[in-house]
């Protein structure tokens, strides 16, 4: 069972999932994890929503990628911290799942996800529905084995054109092989949107300068699957507004936009 939860799975246990009530779960970042970007808290919220939506629809369909109205980043957290996860499902149908949620560490918000929408696709295209049912029973029962995730490598981001405070252009190489593809997904490996947003946030902070941090991403749209081995053209364009830097980040694959977002950065 540990193999099913070791590569890119960020719910240790589902604590409550009664219909119409707040869904609650938990995930402890393994102390040995080498790198756990903040964007993975959004991944954990989305995975909790996905598990409950799949369960409600008997694992015929599953949500993949989609939209997020706003992702707000709270205080820093990392290896050894426990994420207390909450999700409010607005709807879960054969066509899509809509939800919002939050993650806290020691009672303090580390991530808030608003107006998220994931289109539903046939679950069997991505994983074995029987294995998903068994995984859900584990998560809703005794919980998954602890301490499985070892971290992700920094993104292979090459900045080729940097105008400090204004813009940057570069490329992002998606690995041809990486441990997270085993969970994301066994039958159709896809580069996780949350890791793409992590890379785009890093690009934006390089434009903003030393000490800058991403405070929020808004109007996040992921339009296509990004397979292993692809190369993405990435860009960040920023402008000062009310003491913050606000702008747009874009990723293109083979000349076509695959992801866009509005980014808000804070500087010391």
Q: What gap in Å lies between CA 72 and CA 49, rounded to an integer?
A: 18
Predicted TM-score (pTM) of this structure = 0.96
Domains parsed from the chain with CATH numbers? 2-140 (3.10.129.10), 156-266 (3.10.129.10)
Mean pLDDT, residues 61-88: 96
Q: What is the pLDDT of residue 3?
A: 61
Residues in Cβ contact with 225 at an 8 Å cutoff, skipping those fewer than 6 apart: 64, 65, 188, 190, 191
Q: What gap in Å lies between CA 83 and CA 28, rounded to an integer?
A: 6
First to last CA, the chain: 45
CB of 228 closer than 8 Å to CB of 175:
yes
CB of 163 closer than 8 Å to CB of 170:
no
Q: What is the pLDDT of residue 2?
A: 42
Round the average pLDDT of the chain to a whole number and report it.
95
Q: What is the pLDDT of residue 65?
A: 82
Q: Tokens 């813009």 correspond to what residue?
A: 167
Q: What is the pLDDT of residue 143?
A: 96
Q: What is the pLDDT of residue 268?
A: 81
- Measured in degrees and rounded to the nearest 5, phi and psi for residue 94 equal -65, -20
Give percent above pLDDT 90 in the chain.
92
Is the pLDDT reported for residue 1 higher than 70? no
Mean pLDDT, residues 160-168: 96
pLDDT tens digits along 80-139: 999 999 999 999 999 999 999 999 999 999 999 999 999 999 999 999 999 999 999 999
Is the pLDDT reported for residue 12 higher than 50? yes
Is the pLDDT reported for residue 174 higher than 90? yes
Mean pLDDT, residues 27-33: 95
pLDDT tens digits along 203-218: 999 999 999 999 999 9
Give percent above pLDDT 70 in the chain.
99
Helices (H), the chain: 39-56, 129-140, 193-208
- The closest of 55, 62, 129 to 97, measured between CA atoms, is 62
């Amino acid at each position: 069972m540990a193999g099913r939860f070791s590569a890119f799975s960020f719910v240790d246990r589902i604590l409550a999932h009664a219909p119409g009530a707040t869904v609650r779960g938990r995930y402890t970042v393994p102390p040995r994890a080498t790198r756990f970007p903040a964007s993975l808290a959004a991944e954990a919220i989305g995975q909790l929503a996905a598990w409950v939506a799949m369960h409600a629809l008997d694992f015929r369909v599953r949500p993949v990628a989609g939209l997020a109205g706003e992702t707000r980043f709270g205080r820093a957290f990392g290896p050894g911290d426990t994420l207390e996860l909450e999700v409010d499902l607005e709807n879960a149908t054969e066509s899509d799942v809509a939800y919002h949620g939050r993650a806290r560490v020691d009672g303090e918000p580390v991530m808030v996800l608003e107006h998220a929408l994931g289109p539903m696709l046939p679950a069997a295209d991505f994983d074995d529905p029987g294995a998903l049912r068994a995984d859900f029973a584990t998560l809703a029962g005794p919980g998954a084995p602890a301490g499985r995730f070892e971290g992700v490598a920094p993104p292979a981001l090459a900045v080729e054109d940097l105008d400090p405070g204004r813009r940057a252009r570069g490329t992002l190489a998606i690995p041809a092989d990486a441990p997270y593809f085993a969970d994301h997904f066994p039958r159709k490996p896809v580069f996780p949107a949350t890791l793409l947003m992590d890379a785009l946030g890093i690009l934006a902070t390089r434009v903003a300068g030393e000490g800058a941090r991403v405070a929020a991403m808004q109007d996040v749209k992921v339009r296509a699957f990004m397979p292993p081995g692809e190369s993405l053209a990435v860009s960040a364009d920023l402008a000062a507004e009310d003491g913050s830097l606000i702008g747009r980040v874009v990723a293109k694959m083979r000349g076509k936009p695959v992801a866009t977002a509005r980014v808000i950065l804070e500087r010391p």
